[in-house]
Structure 1
């Protein structure tokens, strides 16, 4: 979506409000069909959302505001990148508050050198592309854009596009920064552009989400993380019906698009030896097997996050180091399980 010559990446609709533009990651008809938490809050969370543009003038000024509410943190962190390169520390990260935060962006003095490096090393983004990566954990509004800017060209971003669906863990919970989420780091390792469809606390495998993901023709491969948000209040029978339907809809959209499914990462329920967790994992594994589709693969969550040392203190969410380890293991597995022809233009660091 283009808004005032800026691409709103991973945004499908906007809402003009008195104190800024609210960004939503799904179209309105999809949002209205989601479970209550996803519909009213999580669809608006800006995980994986970016403001992308080229500077025409000397500088641009972006104003962001955190929406008040029962937030986990007082401030969120926004990051600025020039293509694949993180901006220098006077610029990034920027703490975004409910009072509003202005981010002033100028090209670095060595932009031509960065362009040469990106071309030489086949990096996936053009360094001339400014990327303001929004905080992941709450609702952030775009208040203002000042300066002469132009939207990205198609050659400035990767052709390979990775869609990630899941819980607050996919959303980014307890990552130290927006680019530190396992989904973002997996995309970076694979040279892909990320479409983050994480729904914190509300990844209920909604039919509307399955149909929406299936209808999109702009993703190359996907990962689906399922189970943790419904573990405490769904019985296995309901979970099984939901998973089977969710997978059949998405997998049936295009038989050649790879899909990697996983279940609950190692967490407190493993530590407590809760027998239900094994049942839930078997449901996901069996659902993938029953599909009998060569493009749909299963990786146990316990092979991506393996120990308590990789968790934060709540024993549910990965620590910052845990996110990095998931990305490291997941990207290697994706490369190993998928046919090479799915990645004709891949530039990866795994």
Structure 2
């Protein structure tokens, strides 16, 4: 059964989309790998060799959720249909997660939004860690009433749903949009960069900043998984890019992953690896946005089961502030050390820069737009962060200024 767009760019006129275009890498941007599945193509944001180096379920899920991945093509079609099989996440006892959204951009402007029905549902019980998957059918996203003229189309895939691309149909031929002409920005970060609670895939803060900066985004924001993994650094090293940024902090505290003694050399190693592939590209190190939960209290971060019983998903810090003396990491400790590392390295690396994440979301913002679950920003905050990042990175004196 075909879905009607949630917000169509024009009335459906009954025009049939009878031309099928094979889905392949030349129509996709933002993915580092494509996996052939029984249904079609599954975009991955890490290459297969990197995924094989550590079989972590959270990272496997996050990197396969196509944040920043989009179909890009040129056509004069007035109707576009995309068959896709989604895998949606659900959590026992928590409110239902919002359905993924497909954003349609015509010549760079948002022209429609739609969702897809059916698909798989992967349910996680946070009290036991068990995971159950219920299979479902392929669905269809349909956009109709598009202007009958040559135009560049972008279909941004949902940042919060695994998406297997099954078929692309139109009522006019499709061709690739030539690469080049715009700089490529390669970014790595946590769930905040992944998209967290943004309204749609083209309105995550990195997507908004990329649009304002006039660059092509490759988003390696992985929910729960910005952990200084060496294989991520090597993937970034090997990915063509003109501009590079890394955003570290909150996930290291969430997992209570390492102490300061391990953190400092791990950051140096990560930056060293990136520099092997991008020796002179502007490289921006960004610390976490303000998160009152962990500014001075170490992790780990755990679900607040009291709020879960009330139908709300919130988190709490399970660490003890006194443990900072033993080298436990807080956001304050990480920010201070990241700033020191960048200052030290910039004496020999003039293209290395630092941005305090509280310039994107700080104390005044927290009072006005508090993090709904104590960790993740809402849609309005994504807009604010994207605008501020664009101003500081792509503005007249920013490190990404041409």
TM-score under structure 2 normalisation?
0.72
> Offset at 1:163?
1.4
| CA pair 59-81 structure 1, distance change in 2 beyond 3 A | same
| CA pair 97-73 structure 1, distance change in 2 beyond 3 A | farther
| Counterpart in the other structure of 2:229 | 206
1:226-279 alpha-carbon deviations (Å, 9 max, x no partner): 011111413222222221211222134333211111112101335766563221
| Counterpart in the other structure of 1:235 | 259
Separation in 2 of the partners of 1:10 and 1:284?
Answer: 27
Q: Is the 8 A contact 1:5 1:53 kept in 2?
A: no
Q: Is the 8 A contact 2:59 2:224 kept in 1?
A: no
**1:289 corresponds to 2:343:** yes
**1:25 corresponds to 2:25:** no
> Offset at 1:14?
2.3
Secondary structure, counterpart of 1:212 in structure 2: helix
In the alignment, which of 259, 265, 268 is matched to residue 292 of structure 2? 268
Secondary structure, counterpart of 2:253 in structure 1: coil
| CA pair 241-161 structure 1, distance change in 2 beyond 3 A | same
Secondary structure, counterpart of 2:104 in structure 1: strand
Separation in 2 of the partners of 1:16 and 1:27?
Answer: 13
Alignment of 1:49-68 (within 5 A): 49-55=69-75, 59-68=79-88
Range 46-55 or range 5-14, more displaced: 5-14
| CA pair 35-183 structure 1, distance change in 2 beyond 3 A | farther
**1:314 corresponds to 2:373:** yes
| Counterpart in the other structure of 2:163 | 140
| Counterpart in the other structure of 1:347 | none
| CA pair 238-170 structure 1, distance change in 2 beyond 3 A | same
In the alignment, structure 2 segments of 5+ residues that lack a partner are 1-21, 120-136, 298-320, 325-329
| Counterpart in the other structure of 2:245 | 223
Separation in 2 of the partners of 1:188 and 1:96?
Answer: 29
**1:92 corresponds to 2:113:** yes
Separation in 1 of the partners of 2:197 and 2:357?
Answer: 17
| Counterpart in the other structure of 2:360 | 304
Range 308-317 or range 273-282, more displaced: 273-282
User: Which protein shows a greater Rg?
Assistant: 2
| Counterpart in the other structure of 2:332 | 278
Separation in 2 of the partners of 1:339 and 1:173?
Answer: 26
Secondary structure, counterpart of 2:232 in structure 1: helix
> Offset at 1:111?
4.6
> Offset at 1:206?
1.1
**1:245 corresponds to 2:269:** yes
Tell me the number of residue pairs that the alignment of Structure 1 and Structure 2 aligns. 321
TM-score under structure 1 normalisation?
0.82
In the alignment, which of 15, 32, 44 is matched to residue 64 of structure 2? 44
Q: Is the 8 A contact 1:76 1:97 kept in 2?
A: no
Separation in 2 of the partners of 1:16 and 1:283?
Answer: 42
Secondary structure, counterpart of 2:380 in structure 1: helix
In the alignment, which of 103, 109, 114 is matched to residue 141 of structure 2? 103
Q: Is the 8 A contact 1:45 1:139 kept in 2?
A: yes
> Offset at 1:60?
3.0
1:9-49 alpha-carbon deviations (Å, 9 max, x no partner): 11232223334432212221122125614652222111001
Secondary structure, counterpart of 1:287 in structure 2: helix
Separation in 1 of the partners of 2:396 and 2:378?
Answer: 25
